[in-house]
Structure 1
Amino acid sequence: MAFTGPVEDRLAIRELMDTYADAICRVDAVDYAACWADEDAIWSIPWYPDIGTIHGKDAIMATWNEAMKTFAGDNFVMRPSSIVIEGDRAQVTARTSEVYDIGDTVFRDRGYYEDVCVKVAGRWYFKERTFHLKHRETSQAKPEDREFTS
């Protein structure tokens, strides 16, 4: 995969990814919302028909806030595998790994995002995110494994 464009911008996009992932782990809606562009942002999860494609930052946040009510002990990591910058727009691919509980089931998901990022007033944001699930494992959680710390 390619990494092109000013190194400062590539670092800023990487920090955007890190902020996004950390906000998920901490269930921090303020930091999560700060990662998204304006009201025409798009978040798409085509493999999950109940979510599908969400248009607009307010709708993205409403969906995210509702979804995060069911997650326990989420650990989400993301790393770039491609960042191609052209001016104030970037095409980005990010690989993800996530472990979380829903009820008594532990999910281990691996996938990737195809992103469009935009630079507004010197800061990078996610404009469009499309998630593709590549692998999922599930198992039953053991009671002794349910102790979580922040």
Structure 2
Amino acid sequence: MSKGSVEERLAIRELIETFAVGVTTIDPELWASTWADEGCWKTPSMPALVEGKEAVVEKFKEMMAYVKFMSMSAIPSPTDLVFDGDKAKGRAYCRELIFPKAGGQKIVIGFFDDEYVKRDGRWLFTSRIYTVIGAE
């Protein structure tokens, strides 16, 4: 296990940022590009873990159908990022400003516990588990 090279840490950061841009722009294709085929995803609003890239992307589309627009900012935690060859684990803190089609606004602060895999020179998510710290 290691803290990884500057290049590897930057690649993970860019993965996390690409995920956030995919959310902010509600772009399922961009968002899907961050996932490994075996990826799994869980948020507090989901009754169960969603497994497999295809199912994960469909769940994203379902959740975004209720959103008029939103903004996600993500900050990877350098103290939680650990590499083990072509696998890594980390944590990313995020803030979401959500404007539902039904009206109103929601602010959510939380973090993702992540697992990553490097394939064909790219880092991808194999797991993202979201925990809400606070919401208003």
What TM-score bracket applies, with the shorter chain setting the length? Answer: over 0.9
Partner of 1:48: 45
- How big is each residue's C-alpha offset from its partner over 1:77-115, in whole Å with a ceiling of 9 and x where there is no partner? 111113111111111100010001121221000000000
Name the CA distance, whole Å, in 1 between partners of 2:32 and 2:49. Answer: 17
Root mean square deviation, CA, Å? 1.2
Q: Which amino acid aligns with 1:113?
A: F
Matched residue SS, 2:23:
helix
Shift of 1:21: 0.3
User: In the alignment, does 2:69 pair up with 1:73?
Assistant: yes
* Number of equivalences: 132
Alpha-carbon distance between aligned partners in 2 of 1:44 and 1:66, rounded to the nearest angstrom: 14
Q: Could you tell me which runs of 5 or more consecutive residues in structure 2 were left unpaired when the two chains were aligned.
A: none
Whose radius of gyration is greater, 1 or 2? 1
Measured after TM superposition, the shift of residue 121 of structure 1 is 1.2
Unmatched runs of 5 consecutive residues or more in structure 1: 138-150
Partner of residue 95, structure 2:
97
Query: Please, what TM-score do these two structures have when normalized by structure 2?
Result: 0.92
Give the aligned partner of residue 140 of structure 1: none
The sequence identity of aligned pairs, in percent, is 31
Which residue type is aligned with residue 93 of structure 2?
R
* Whole-angstrom CA distance in 2 between matches of 1:93 and 1:49: 20
CA displacement at 1:66 relative to structure 2: 1.2
What is the TM-score when the length of structure 1 is the normalising length? 0.84
